[in-house]
Each structure stands twice: as C-alpha cells, then as structure tokens.
Amino acid sequence: MRQPPTISIRPASPVVSTLPIVRWYASGLFLALLLGIMTLALYWPAMWCEFVDYDDSAYVIDNTHVTVGLTWESIKWAFMNPVAGNWHPLTILSHMLDCQLFGLQPGGHHFTSVMLHGLNVLLVFIWLRQMTGAVWRSLLVAALFAVHPLHVESVAWIAERKDVLSAFFGLLTLIFYVRYARSGITFEGQPPKAQMVPGPGPGLATLDYGLALLFLALGLMSKPMLVTWPFVLLLLDYWPLKRFNPGNGWRLVREKIPFLALAVVASVVTVVTQKQSGALQTGENLSIGARGANALISLCRYLGEMFWPTDLAVFYPHPGHWPLAQVLLAGGLVSGIFLLFWVKRRQQPFLLMGWLWYCGTLVPVIGLVQAGDQSMADRYTYLPSLGVLILAVWGGYELTRHRHYLVTALCVAGLTGIGFCLVLTRQQLGFWRDSVTLFQHTLAVTENNHVAHYALGSAYYTKGQTDEAIRQFREAIRIRPGYAEAQSDLGAALDKAGQTDEAISHIQEAIRLRPLDAFPHFNFGAALDKKGQTDEAICQYQEAIRLKPDDAQAYGNLGADLGKQGQTDEAMRDLQEAIRLKPDDAEPHINLGAVLDKKGQADEAVRQYQEAIRLKPDAAEARNNLGYLWASRGENLDQARAMIEKAVQLEPKNAAFLDSLGCVLLKLNRGREALDYQLKAIDNSSAPDASLYDHLGDIYAALKQPGQAVESWHKSLALAPDSQVQKKVDGLSAP
C-alpha cells in the first residue's frame, strides 16, 4: 500500500508573517488620514471667524499678560493667577504661544483650536481601536465625534481652548492607561489572576502608568473637568478591558489612588478660585433641590441635542425653577435608561459603561455646584458625548451583526448621520463668524436671555453703534435688574452718547452691586472726566487700579488726568506703566507725548506720537498733535500741514483738529484757507472756547481785517481773561 506523499510545510518568511501587522497599521494610518482631512476641511472656515465679545477679551484680547507672548514673567503669572475664575495655566500658556506666533490675528488662534480638535479625533480612533480591536466601529465613533454640531462651541470659541486642550491630554491618559492595563502588570507589580493580552514588560508598563498620570496632570491644568477621569479608568476596567475579577476590585481601586489624588487637588483649587472670583455666587442663591432638578433636566436636554442637534446656543439662561412634571419625567427617563442597561450589563456591558461615562463625566458641570448663570452649555458635552456615541454604535452593531441586510442598514444610517452632522456643523460654524451674528442667533433660539442681550450690546458698542448697544443693555437689565456688568456698560454707552448724568446713575448702581469689580470704577472715572470733574475721576481710576493692578486703560487715563493737573512726573510714571502693560496700545503713547511736550521734551514727544501712529495709522489725535508740535516749533511746516489734514480727514468735525489746521495754514501764509477752517472749528465746537476766538483774531489780523480781529479777541477775553490776548487788542487798537 502506497503511503501518501509527505508534505513539508516550510515556515513563513519573516516578511510574510509580518504582512498582516503591516496591513493593520497601514489601514489604520489611512483611515486616520481620512479622518484628519475631513475634520480640517469641515472646520477650515473657522480661520475667518473673529474674536467674540464673550470671554475672548478676558483670555486674550485685553489680557496684557497673554498678549505679550511667552516670557518668564508671563509664564510665572499663568501659574500664579486664575483667569475668569479658573486656574488652568496650560490653557493660558497656549494662548500666550498663539500671541507669540500670530499676535492678535484671530485666524491663527482658531487654527490652533482646529488642529487640537483634529488631533483629538485621531486619538479617539486610536484609543478605541487599540482597546477593542474594532476598526469600523471605532472609525464611526471618531467620525461622529469629529463632525457633531455640539462640538462647534468648543472648537470655534477661542476662549474655550481649554476644552480641546484638556481633551487632548485626557485622551492621551486613556491611551497610555490602556497600554499599561494590557501589559498584564498591576500597579503593585504583580500579574493579575486572569492574564490579559500580552503586552510590554514591567518596565514599559511602569512607564505607561507614569505617562498616564502625567497626562492627567497636564489635562487638569488645562481644564479641571477631567476630575472624573479616575472614575472613567474604572469604567474601562469594566469594559472593554474586563479587568474585574473575583477579589480584584479593591486592587483596581488602589491602582487609581494617584489619579484620584490629582483630581482631588484640582477640585479643591477650582472651588477656591471660583469662590474667590464670585463665580459660585449664583449657585449659592439656588437651593439644592433646584440645582438637582436642573441637573436631571440637563441630562435629558443634552441627550436630545446629541440625537437632534438643532437650535444650539452659546448661552442657555437658567430658569431658576423647573416645573415639577418635567423634573419627574426627566428623573424617570434617566433612571429607566440606567435600569435597562443594568439588566443588560452581562450581555452588552458597553451599554452600561457608555451611560455611566456620559452621566459621570457631566457631574462637575451639571449644575450641582452652580458656576455662572447658565442652565447648561454645549461645550460641556465635548468628552461626555463619547459615552453616548460608544453605546449607540456598539449597541447598533450588536442588534444587526447577525443579519447582513441590517448591517448594511446600519452603515447607511451611520453615513446619513455623518452627512446630517456635516451640514449642521457647517451651519453652526457660520454663526461664530462675529459677535453680532453669534448673539443674534442666540436670541433667535432662546428666550429671556440677558447674557445674549448684554454680549450683543457689547458687540454693537465695539462697532460704534452706540444707540443699538444702549437698547441691548437696557433689555439685559430689564430681564436681570441686578446685572452689574450690563449696568456698568450701559453707563459707558450713555456717556459716549452724551447722556452723562444718566450714565453716572447706572455706573453707581453697578458699583453698588459689585463693589470689588474694577471696571465700573473705570467707567465712572471716564464719565466724570467728561463732566470736567478731573479730581474725582482720578480717585476712581486709582480705585480701579487698586482692584485690578494690571488695568492698562486705568493707568493710561489716570496718567492723562494727572498730566492735565500739571502733575507731570506722576503722569509720566502711570503712562509708562500703561505702555508696559499694553505696549501695542496707541493711546498712552499719545498722552505721554502730550505730557512730554508740556515738560519741554519736544523731541521725545515727537517719538511718542510717531510710535502711536506706527501702532495705529488712523490715530487722528496723534497726527494732529505731532503736526501742531512741528508747527509750533516752526519745523516741517508742509509735513505738519499734511499730518493735520490727515487727522481732519479721519475726524472732519473735530474742532481741535480744524483749529490746528487753521493755525498751520496761517504760518504758511494761506490766510484765506486758515479762516475757513477756523470758522468750521468754531461751528463744530461743543462749547464756546476762548482759544478758538483767539486764533480767529490772529487770522483776521493777518488778513488786515482789524475790526473782526478785535471783535474775535474780545470774545476770547469774555470767555477767559488772558493778558497776552489783551496785549493783542491793545496793540491793534493803538493809534
């Protein structure tokens, strides 16, 4: 009987055996590349969005410590001082780096946030694929995370850099924790009873554990919302890592103690800083029951927005108290979902894990400890939404995986959801192009929104639309009479509109409501300046500086007033401090030039005016002052005329500029032109001015019209007796 031929099986070559691994990584890189391109293409229009009048000033625009970029002093300041009631030094350092690279060009700041979101999308895909081995489900979760409209606020709002930055470090924490857990080595250095997937040895496992701890610390220094991360790590132990075994629970808890210690420290620091800044005041005025009711309602509202993300707003006002029926319905829904997933925990553990992720990671911002006036905020869902996406995608897969046609339907549904989100996200991104568009949209989709009215008023005020700003501020105060910021800014707008007495009453109300807020004192000083009460204005500016020692505007206005009072040395000191705090602001350079001119330091005054013009080419006052200084010294008369003419073009009804141009034209022996401008100066003057009539008399005298010259000088003397003007009258009247 013939024996069957023997078949010798040669071992596969190393190249062949590694091909599946190569294909595994290659496919992952290709899919990650597609995710990155999709995310960047979707959010690219954000590069053309502006800063918004809602926290962007506190974080970047008006924060002189940030705008100077990265210096040793600014880095130290970032670690020693909270911003907007939060201690998050790494977020502040990221803004400083943006200012170093891009200055105050908003496109550069948006670019950084978009890149961070793109990186976060890739990390979500890498983490889920590494943890579960499921490529397409991981891809779908990451894609939905990339395009979901709820995340526009976190990405397009520059002040919310803390969301995308903390998420970046939080996801790195999860990736390295999973690497550590897959090593099969516990925190105590002992292998668990049920050996897990082989991984790196004890040395690398310890490194992974240390890196996870480090990235959590960095994430907490970006935004304290990651205080729930020790809880999240336990959820990952439950599913999909499946590290829970009989007798192993306490060991896993002890393993999280270093992470928990970081979270506790971050929580304490956050509560203390928010308490000191007054951010928790609203929470203290709400009962525990009211806060608990809002938490239940918010859990359901967030869930609804995840599946139907329309009518999104940057601010949702807190109603104070919700109807009992709605609270009970929300409580029943939350409890019912939990009970359903608890029953299914053995067959589909990802359902319970996803739900607990969603609810647990929202705890710090759900309103149980109320910080601010909002009832909820879209930005709070940036990381919690991952729990819902995981349970939805994995749940859908479990329902369909035994039937091919259902799998096809699931794929179609997933692609449809991505397409739906792409359209809504691009639309939502358009609302962030500027403050007016953003808050007009917010008012269109919310009711009784005092914050949106206030922010829209601030945007109008910045654009110079004072009347519309006043209307919005009044509406904010109607909704919330005790709104100190709106009272203060209404006062500033009324002062700009010439209604100074009413302005002062609103500013005083703001000071009564918030006596430790520096800005109302600054506005009060500006209003008193307009009334000519310089001494009282100086006191208000000094109080603003006491409350906010880095207030560059207050130093600038204080220096200008001290200069008017003849206290030139003190004025120079304060103006130089204003320049140090905000070197790119032209105004203190203009005021310092005026003080130096008064001290007789004309050359240095010229340099200050020129620096102001370099910083702000349309600084009309700097051009006028520089031209008048040259003319008064008899220098560069043609340049002086051109400089002042530009100032008049910028502000054609400014009496002081028209007067300066008349004086320079007189020196150039162009008396007829000088007369026209001088008469325009008098017509545009808000009040009779002795110097204007004095200069008018000089022009008439040069034109050989003595009668009109004497008449003009007499008007000047009637307004302000002056011996030099009297000598002119006597000289022209003498036979």
For 287-315, the pLDDT digits (tens) are 888 999 999 999 999 999 999 999 999 99
- For 593-608, the pLDDT digits (tens) are 999 999 989 999 999 9
Provide the CATH number for the domain around residue 491.
1.25.40.10
Q: Is the pLDDT assigned to residue 189 strictly greater than 90?
A: no
Average pLDDT over residues 33-53: 94
Q: If you compute the radius of gyration of the chain from its CA atoms, what whole number of angstroms results?
A: 34
**Could you give the CA distance from residue 289 to residue 328 in angstroms, rounded to a whole number?**
12
> Two tokens at 584?
């790119």
Q: What is the mean pLDDT of the chain?
A: 89
- In the predicted model, what is the mean pLDDT of residues 225-241? 96
pLDDT given for residue 459 in this prediction: 95
Looking at the 3D structure of the chain, how many domains does it have? Answer: 2
- H-type helices in 225-323, by residue range? 229-238, 249-255, 257-277, 281-285, 288-307
Question: 473-532, pLDDT tens digit by residue?
Answer: 999 999 999 999 999 999 999 999 999 999 999 999 999 999 999 999 999 999 999 898
* pLDDT band of 584, cuts 50, 70, 90: confident
Q: What does the pLDDT read at residue 11? A: 43
Counting residues of the chain whose pLDDT is more than 70, the rounded percentage is 92
Angle between helices 161-182 and 229-238 (to 10 degrees): 40
More confident position, 263 or 368: 263
Q: Phi and psi (nearest 5°) for 84?
A: 55, 35
Better-scored residue on pLDDT, 444 or 694: 444
Residue 268 has what pLDDT?
93
For 246-286, what is each residue's pLDDT tens digit? 778 788 999 999 999 999 999 999 888 877 766 554 444 67
Task: Report how far residue 696's alpha carbon sits from residue 711's, in angstroms, rounded to the nearest whole number.
Answer: 10
Tell me if 30 is assigned to some domain. no
Q: Which residues contact 20 (CB under 8 A, 6 or more apart)?
A: none
Q: Give the pLDDT confidence score for residue 139 in this predicted structure.
A: 94
Query: Per-residue pLDDT averaged across 364-374, rounded?
Result: 82
- Contact (CB, 8 A) for 127 and 171: yes
**What pLDDT, on the 0 to 100 scale, is given for residue 198?**
43
Q: What is the pLDDT of residue 733?
A: 65
14: pLDDT strictly greater than 70: no
What are the tokens at 207?
Answer: 């490194």
Asked if the structure places residue 85 within a domain, the reply is: yes
The mean pLDDT of 666-684, rounded to a whole number, is 91
The pLDDT of residue 720 is: 87
- Is the pLDDT assigned to residue 209 strictly greater than 90? yes
Domain boundary among 220, 245, 278: 278
Question: Rounded to a whole number, what is the distance in angstroms from the first to the last CA of the chain?
Answer: 156
Q: If you average pLDDT over residues 183-207, what whole number do you get?
A: 52
Which of residues 204 and 142 earns the better pLDDT score? 142
Mean pLDDT over residues 8-15, rounded? Answer: 40
Q: Report DSSP letters for 5-53, one per residue.
A: PP---PPPPHHHHHHHHHHHHHHHHHHHHHHHHHHHHHHGGGGGPPP-T
The whole-number pLDDT of residue 725 equals 83
Is residue 279 within 8 Å of 234, Cβ to Cβ? no
Which residues are registered as beta bridge partners of 316? 376
pLDDT at 183: 79
- Residues 7-17 have a mean pLDDT of 40
Does pLDDT of 546 surpass 60? yes
Lowest mean pLDDT among 49-63, 72-86, 239-253, 278-292: 278-292
What's the per-residue H, E or C state across 648-705?
HHHCCCCHHHHHHHHHHHHHCCCHHHHHHHHHHHHHHCCCCCHHHHHHHHHHHHHCCC
Long-range residue pairs from 492-498, CB within 8 A, at least 24 positions apart, any chain? 492/461, 492/523, 492/526, 492/527, 493/457, 493/461, 493/466, 493/469, 494/470, 495/523, 495/526, 495/527, 495/530, 496/461, 496/466, 497/466, 497/467, 497/470
Q: Would you say residue 21 has pLDDT above 50?
A: no
Structure tokens that stand for 33 in this block: 């590349």
Q: Is residue 580 part of a domain?
A: no
Mean pLDDT score, 143-165: 97
Query: Can the peptide bond before residue 549 be classed as cis, meaning omega within 30 degrees of 0?
Result: no
pLDDT value, residue 467: 96
Tell me if 118 sits within 8 A of 40, measured CB to CB.
yes
Give yes or no for a contact between 293 and 321, defined as CB atoms under 8 angstroms apart: yes
290 within domain boundaries: no
DSSP 123-166: HHHHHHHHHH--HHHHHHHHHHHHH-GGGHHHHH-GGGHHHHHH
Instruction: With respect to residue 665, please indicate whether it lies within any of the assigned structural domains.
Output: no
Q: What does the alpha-carbon distance between residue 104 and residue 233 come to, in Å, rounded to a whole number?
A: 39
**Which DSSP symbol is given to 58?**
I
Q: Is the pLDDT of residue 351 over 80?
A: yes
Question: Within a domain: residue 293?
Answer: no
284: how many CB neighbours lie within 10 A of its CB? 9
Which residue, 227, 250, 278, sits at the end of a domain? 278
| Distance, CA of 686 to CA of 658 (rounded, Å) | 13
Residue 173 maps to a domain: yes
Q: Is the pLDDT of residue 343 over 70?
A: yes
Residues β-bridged to residue 317: 374
Range with lowest mean pLDDT among 405-409, 439-443, 456-460, 483-487: 405-409
| Predicted pLDDT at 462 | 92
Decide: 583 and 555 in contact? Cβ < 8 Å: no
- Compute the distance between CA of residue 450 and CA of residue 459 in angstroms, rounded to an integer: 14
Would you state the pLDDT for residue 409?
83
Query: Which of 203-217, 222-236, 401-415 is least confident?
Result: 401-415
What pLDDT score does 187 carry?
Answer: 43
Q: What is the pLDDT of residue 13?
A: 40
- Does the pLDDT of residue 368 top 70, yes or no? yes
Determine the average pLDDT of the residues in 217-233: 97
**pTM of the predicted protein model:** 0.86
pLDDT of 1 higher than 60: no
Measured in degrees and rounded to the nearest 5, phi and psi for residue 376 equal -165, 175
| Residue range 624-639: mean pLDDT, rounded | 89
Q: Which domain holds residue 539?
A: 448-543
In a domain, 118, yes or no: no
Tell me what pLDDT residue 250 has: 87
Out of 514, 543, 572, a domain closes at 543
Token representation of residue 225:
């919302």
